[in-house]
Amino acid sequence: MARAPAALADAGALRKRLDGQGRLAVKVTPRARDETVTLTDRGVLVKVCAPADKGAANQAVVAVVARALGLAPSRVALRRGGTSRQKLLQLTL
């Protein structure tokens, strides 16, 4: 059975969450049922299906955030939080 497409936040609203240096702070939930990017009053919540094992969840986070923003995954880099649920992504717009 195929997975449902990711539920992604509006790209414009997501871009407003970037700081002045093009960084985006996210909280990640690995091994989720669906891939989503949700904007909350506390920040950006990213859920990915990949497990937090050998960087799989980090790669999935980069891919889903890039898709939400309409960017190539090479334009999104993990800057901080490789082993944490709190991550800082650097975006090249």
Tell me whether residue 86 is exposed, middle or buried, using C-beta atoms within 10 angstroms of its C-beta: 0 to 12, 13 to 18, 19 or more: exposed
Alpha-carbon span 9 to 38, nearest angstrom = 6
pLDDT of residue 93: 85
Which residues have a Cβ under 8 Å from the Cβ of 75 and sit 6 or more positions away? 66, 91, 92, 93
pLDDT at 6: 75
DSSP state of 7: B
Domains of the chain: 11-91 (3.30.1200.10)
Q: Report pLDDT digits (tens) over 35-44.
A: 999 999 999 9
What angle (nearest 5°) sits at the alpha carbon of residue 91, between those of residues 89 and 88?
10
The yes-or-no verdict on residue 2 having pLDDT over 70 is no
DSSP 75: G
What is the per-residue pLDDT across 30-85, written as a single tens digit (0 to 9) for each? Answer: 999 999 999 999 999 999 999 999 999 999 999 999 999 999 999 999 999 999 99
Output the pTM of the full model.
0.93
